[in-house]
Copies of this chain bind each other. A is one copy, B any other.
Amino acid sequence: MEIIKELQYIVGSKLVTTEPSELYCYSSDASQILGMPEYVVRPENTEQVSRILKLTNKHGIAVTPRGAGTGLAGGAVALSGGVVLDLSGMNRILEVDIDNLQVAVEPGVVHAKLNEALKPHGFFFPPDPGSSDMCTLGGLIANRGSGMRSVKYGTIKNYVLDLEVVMANGTVINTGSRTLKSSAGYDLTALMVGSEGTLGVITKALMKIHPLPKSRIVLLASFEDAEMAGRAVVKVIAGGIVPSACEILDRMTIEVLNAYDLKTPLPDAETILLFEVDGTESGVQEEAEMVKSICRSFVSSIRIAADEKEIDEIWTARRLVGAAISRLDPQMTRVYVGEDIGVPIKEIPNMLKRLSSISEKSGLKIMTYGHIGDGNLHTGMCIDVFDEEQWKRLNQAADEIHRTALMLGGTVSAEHGIGSARGEYMRLERGLALGVIAAVKHALDPKGILNPGKLGI
């Protein structure tokens, strides 16, 4: 039977397409990576995924799993044609089990929806990506995502207890169990988290949840230069505070946000740090005072956000950064390259300094913001995408950003994933471990059908 007929037979003809106009919609994610699939299939359950993989494995057809397509490294883009497996339709929250502190979800559940469902129970799901309103949990898991709360709460890998995964040959396995901890053999759950669809297709996830903190306080600290801010972060954390968020906004980010017409404008400063502490009502008061006193010798000013309303406004503003940057200049487009480095905490001041010299050298403005509390800095660069020379400078700057992060003991991707955009740095970052990665990949997907061309293997 023709492949298309077999696919139609498995999921029904409405859920398969080969229409160029539809395929085009699936030919990119939120990065610049492009790749046209031959088929888009929208399975509705695990059994269908299993049957699809049996078919594609038999014929050696590439399969690229996809959630919402919000990825920033081309992870969900089909580089070798074949099938894009659109899992966004598998979007049910299957179980909210408060007594066991866990939820079961399908991979297509949008991140924010899960937190909406948990809130009435007094619980939440701590990983907190900027794309919460759009991204799917399957994608978050596949990219080992995190967000603002990972200083205190860890990344998604600390929350996944069990995954149902369809392996390359169609076998369905469970990687973990319902218990909160286990020492029974290899941690296949952790192996799947961050594997970007190259080892199997996640069809269900059982995840830990956390009680909502009773109280939180946000502090806004202004600094005269970015290095001072970096030093303050090191001191606060080494001083024994574990903030629930610790974000940096540099001058350009502040300007971009203020231009966006915020309800409460951000203070005019070279650099702002936002600290959030959460916990019991009295505990957060104590911690906020500690942050204030540790920061005093670094800041030009520091104040506590007035109330929950102001806190919400601040975090809304923070979430706007990615979109707001387009206000900078209507001719310019933000290109996501070199945007997700991570460095050891004490290298933050150093990295910030080097970013400004890369900016000077390249003649490109580099906006810097991000989760400074865990060493994760996002950079934003805009160019006129019709100007080849600007592209060249941009790519050179991104390359330098990546290599500088690695030189400081860091990573080219702290939370967005490698995809194909950052594949070339894998050898440099992982060294001989890349051989081990390739061996694991080959053992579990001998025909190489799962998301080929990614992770630099």
Contacts and interface: CB of A to CB of B under 8 A. Distances in A.
Nearest to A75: B183
Nearest to A122: B240
Given A443-B442, A444-B440, A430 B171 contact: no
A184 B196 CA distance: 10
Which of A150, A151, A436, A440 counts the most chain B CB atoms within 10 A?
Answer: A436
A440 B443 contact: yes
Contacts of A155: 181
A101 B237 contact: yes
Contact of A179 (B180, B285, B409): B409
A116 to B, nearest CB: 18
Contact of A342 (B154, B181, B430): B181
- How many copies of this chain does one complex carry? 2
B443 A185 contact: no
A376 B181 contact: yes
A431 interface: yes
Interface string A435-450: 1110111111000000
Contact of A431 (B146, B150, B173, B210): B173
A190 B176 CA distance: 13
B443 A184 contact: no
Contacts of A195: 186
Interface in A193-221: 193-195, 199, 210-212, 214
Contact of A280 (B97, B177, B287, B440): B287
B100 A184 contact: no
Contacts of A175: 433
A156 to B, nearest CB: 10
Contacts of A414: 179, 181-183
A234 interface: yes
A360 interface: no
B411 A184 contact: yes
Contacts of A167: 436
B410 A178 contact: yes
Nearest to A171: B432
A171 to B, nearest CB: 6
A237 B413 CA distance: 35
Contact of A177 (B415, B429, B455): B429
Interface string A323-340: 000000000000000001
Interface in A92-151: 97-102, 122-123, 143-146, 150-151
A408 to B, nearest CB: 9
A312 interface: no
Interface string A355-384: 000000000000000000011100000000
Given A186-B437, A439-B443, 5 more contacts: A99-B346, A173-B433, A177-B429, A183-B417, A280-B282
Interface of A: 97-102, 122-123, 143-146, 150-151, 154-155, 157-158, 167, 171-175, 177-188, 190-191, 193-195, 199, 210-212, 214, 234, 237-242, 279-287, 340, 342-346, 374-376, 409-418, 422, 425-426, 429-437, 439-444, 455-456
12 contacts: A143-B183, A150-B181, A158-B158, A167-B436, A173-B431, A178-B410, A182-B413, A183-B417, A280-B283, A281-B286, A436-B444, A439-B444
3 A-B pairs closest in CB distance: A283-B283, A190-B190, A282-B282
